[in-house]
Amino acid sequence: MKVTVVGAGAVGASCAEYIAIKNFASEVVLLDIKEGYAEGKAMDLMQTASLNAFDTRVVGTTGDYSKTADSDICVITSGIPRKPGMTREELIGINAGIVKEVSSSLVKHSPNTIIIVVSNPMDTMTYLVHKTTNLPKNRIIGMGGALDSARFKYRLAEALGAPISDVDGMVIGGHSDKGMVPLTRLATRNSVPVTEFISEDRLNQVKEDTKVGGATLTKLLGTSAWYAPGAAVSGLVQAIACDQKKIFPCSTLLEGEYGLKDLCIGVPVVLGRDGIEKIVDIELNDGERNHLKESAEGVNKTNGLLEL
């Protein structure tokens, strides 16, 4: 199993680190345009191998896509990160050009690869990859929902005063502050609805804290987060590489599912060796369905800014 991560910044390096430590891939290629940067990050990671007991080979390259040839999975993290006060949508002008060039170069050397998109605005960048490559829809995946759901579970555990391993919950919709749809109705603590433990007001606060999870961290850090995004990517990569058939909410191209079409947005999917093996159609109530529709309208508005 060969995995390429494009972009050796904080998010890309975290992706490479978590993938390497899990020890399911034979090789991780880290690529960046900054001279020597990916090579340095790769060397640093390899010097942790004996300490962290992994055998994954991590190599770095400055812009040489031939080193990525025959990658089973490629992760695109490249682009400019958010700064305090910025929305993900404001990144579209620069990041669209970067993602278009990167995805084209990856597919040229790995025509059978599965692409995971991390760059923001993530749903629109995932849609862009669909429109500019010839990859089938099951092999193009947007990461956002997996990260948003992890942030949702963190906030749920905080509100419940419970261990996070006891908590389950999912966020669907667009990967944006206004577009996320945390499914509080379906959230559970060890299979018991969380509404049995916390009030509606507290649950609404959890929902709002989840939706601004990225912005909260950007304000604190001065840039985008990296640990949780890296971990979210590694979870998706492992589910595909190890054919785990796990369900994650991911941005995928919809063609009538959930009453939506011709856009990428976060819904639950089954991930296995072929990428997205099934879109899971869960029953939403009227409020959830309306929120998802509003989220889709926002994604379509951002998609309209693309120059296809």
User: Does 115 share its domain with 170?
Assistant: no
pLDDT of residue 87: 67
User: Does 155 share its domain with 258?
Assistant: yes
pLDDT of residue 307: 81
- Catalytic residue, chosen from 109, 130, 175, 291, is 175
Is 57 a domain residue?
yes
Amino acid letter at 77?
A: T
For 84: left if phi > 0, alpha if psi spans -120 to 50, otherwise beta; the answer is beta
Q: Residue 282 belongs to a domain with what CATH number?
A: 3.90.110.10
In the residue annotation, 130 being an active-site residue is answered as no
Q: What is the reported pTM? A: 0.95
pLDDT of residue 89: 66
User: Does 105 share its domain with 207?
Assistant: no
Q: Residue 38 belongs to a domain with what CATH number?
A: 3.40.50.720
User: Does 228 share its domain with 242?
Assistant: yes
* DSSP track, 157-178: HHHHT--GGGEE--EEE-SSTT
Per-residue pLDDT of the chain (308 residues; tens, 9 = 90+): 999 999 999 999 999 999 999 999 999 999 999 999 999 999 999 999 999 999 999 999 999 999 999 999 999 999 877 677 766 567 787 889 999 999 999 999 999 999 999 999 999 999 999 999 989 999 999 999 999 999 999 999 999 999 999 999 999 999 998 899 999 999 999 999 999 999 999 999 999 999 999 999 999 999 889 999 999 999 999 999 999 999 999 999 999 999 999 999 999 999 999 999 999 999 999 999 999 999 999 999 999 989 87
Is 308 a domain residue?
no
Number of domains in the chain: 2
**Residues near 246 by Cβ (< 8 Å), separated by ≥ 6?**
235, 239, 270, 271
> How far apart (Å, rounded) are the C-alpha atoms in residues 159 and 174?
24
The residue from 91, 116, 143 where one domain ends is 143
User: Does 277 share its domain with 183?
Assistant: yes
> How far apart (Å, rounded) are the C-alpha atoms in residues 23 and 55?
6
User: The tokens of 303 are what?
Assistant: 């998609």
User: Does 35 share its domain with 110?
Assistant: yes
The residue from 95, 119, 143 where one domain ends is 143
Strands (E), 26-99: 27-32, 57-62, 73-76
pLDDT of residue 118: 96
The residue from 143, 166, 196 where one domain ends is 143
Is 67 a domain residue?
yes
The residue assigned the tokens 């869960």 is 282
> How far apart (Å, rounded) are the C-alpha atoms in residues 138 and 115?
10
User: The tokens of 169 are what?
Assistant: 């919950």
Is 8 a domain residue?
yes
Question: Phi/psi at 251 (nearest 5 deg)?
Answer: -80, 120
What residues make up the domain containing 105?
Answer: 2-143
